Amino acid sequence: MKVPFLDLRAINRELTVELNGVFAKCLDSGHYILGGQLQGFEQAFARYCGAREAVGVGTGLDALTLALRALGVGPGGEVIVPGNTFIATWLAVSAVGAVPIPVDVDYGTGLLDLDLVPAVITARTQAIIPVHLYGQMVDMPRLAAIAGAHGLALVEDAAQAHGATWEGNGPGQWSGAAAFSFYPGKNLGALGDGGAVVVQDALLASRLRRLRNYGSEVKYQHEELGTNSRLDELQAALLRVKLRHLDTHNLTRRMVADTYLRELADLPGLELPITAVEAAPSWHLFVVKSQRRDELQTFLAERGVDTLIHYPCPPHRQPAYASSGLAEARLTVSELLASRILSLPIGPHLVSEQIEHVCHCVREFHER
Ligand SMILES: *Cc1c(COP(=O)(O)O)cnc(C)c1O
């Protein structure tokens, strides 16, 4: 049996009629940038997030970068980031001319270790980017208290956390801005690149709208050095369809996660993901830990089960940051995780026989 890690074709095929319908509508509209589809999606996504406004942009990386810029983060500043994340979190900080200051993560959850945050705050610190990695939210009330006490901006990296909550509230409720990605493989994925920043402040929203559109509100009048990063009409229209199915898709993910948690409990040497009682994850990824990770991955691959590693090399060890001096950062847990983590297949593309097959193979590996 084959168990693909992800099958976007299968996921989107279920929505063929609806997606074809909006494609035809967009094609016929003759209006492809900054129109009614974008406005409609922004309103629907803001409502979904319980936020005042959502601003659609070109990518998740742009959502992070523009959120930092709109909040005044820039050259000379420092931004606290987790050691265990996708490199985009760090690249956004570098893109605005600030310096990423890595903080290690909690071994159980893989999330920013809040105990370590206060010690790295300096006079240059401008912001903190918590990453709701794998779909589990960081303890935002606690982090917001730390940020508030030091007058720091908070930008959430919610690229993996569409629909995730902490004490019933999602990304964007405790921060200046939450950045989402609609990269095709995310819980809410476009058929191309896309992103959005979700904010509670109307002024911040208009600043973001200006920044994404050449620094301009009125055509050919440019208030600042903006960029071109707009979520296009077609992607916005497709995302409006997909947003209607997000909760169903997330529910399927949770059912897969619950099955794994139940069926793979108590296997010697296998560590399952830890979830805080306050958290309801979106289960973007299901990440287990094993000291025999490479062996386990090969064993599963031989039985048709695709797995991936998120992420095999932390940002501070990447050649891109080699000259920054950050390579020497002491991020013991992040590095340990990189050697032990393995992401099992999860998502709405899986049928129950495939989930059973994964459980069977993982059990077989540990009970041999
Ligand atoms: C996907 C992702 C991003 C970047 O999103 P893009 O749309 O690919 O630019 C940023 N942070 C995290 C944690 C991600 O998973």
310 pLDDT more than 90: yes
Distance 367 CA to ligand 1 centre (A): 37
Share the mean pLDDT of the chain.
97
The strand pair at 270-271 and 279-280 is best described as unpaired
Task: Say yes or no to pLDDT of 326 above 90.
Answer: no
What is the H or E stretch that residue 236 is in? Answer: helix 233-243
Quote the ligand 1 centre to 63 CA distance (angstroms): 9
Ligand 1: atom nearest CA of 133 is: 13
Q: What is the Cα 254 distance to its own chain's centre? A: 17
CA gap 222, 198 in Å, rounded: 24
Return d(Cα 183, Cα 189) in angstroms, integer. 5
pLDDT by residue (tens digit) across 113-124? 999 999 999 999
For residue 41, pLDDT over 90 is answered with: yes
Contact 252, 234 (CB under 8 A): no
Exposed, middle or buried: residue 172 (CB in 10 Å: 0-12, 13-18, 19+)? buried
Q: Which residue, by CA, sits nearest to atom 1 of ligand 1? A: 159
pLDDT value at 323 more than 90: no
pLDDT for the residue numbered 295 = 98
Question: Distance between CA 216 and CA 276 in Å, rounded?
Answer: 43
Q: How many residues does the chain have?
A: 368
- The CA-based dihedral angle spanning residues 201, 206, 209, 210, taken in that order and rounded to the nearest 10 degrees: -140
CA–CA distance, 192 with 12 (Å, rounded to integer): 13
Cα torsion through 177, 182, 186, 189, rounded to 10: 140
Model confidence over 2-33: pLDDT tens digits? 999 999 999 999 999 999 999 999 999 999 99
Evaluate whether 240 touches 156 at the Cβ level (below 8 Å): no
Q: What is the pLDDT of residues 46-81, one digit of tens each?
A: 999 999 999 999 999 999 999 999 999 999 999 999
86 C-alpha vs ligand 1 centroid, how far in Å? 7
Amino acid at site 244: R
| Contact residues for 94 (Cβ-Cβ < 8 A; gap 6+) | 100
Confidence of residue 197 (pLDDT cuts 50, 70, 90): very high
Determine the pLDDT at residue 328: 81
pLDDT at 327 exceeding the cut of 90: no
> What are the CA-CA distances from residue 72 to residues 96, 126, 152, 201, 248 (Å)?
9, 8, 11, 14, 37
Residue 263 in tokens: 């069926």
pLDDT reported for residue 325: 86
Give yes or no for a contact between 155 and 71, defined as CB atoms under 8 angstroms apart: yes
Structure token digits, residue 131:
């990453």
Supply the pLDDT for residue 50.
Answer: 96
Q: How far is the CA of 310 from the centre of ligand 1 (A)?
A: 12
Q: Is the CB of 157 under 6 A from ligand 1?
A: yes
Q: Which atom of ligand 1 is nearest to the CA of 88?
A: 10
CA of 287 from ligand 1 middle (Å) equals 17
Section 101-124 average pLDDT:
98
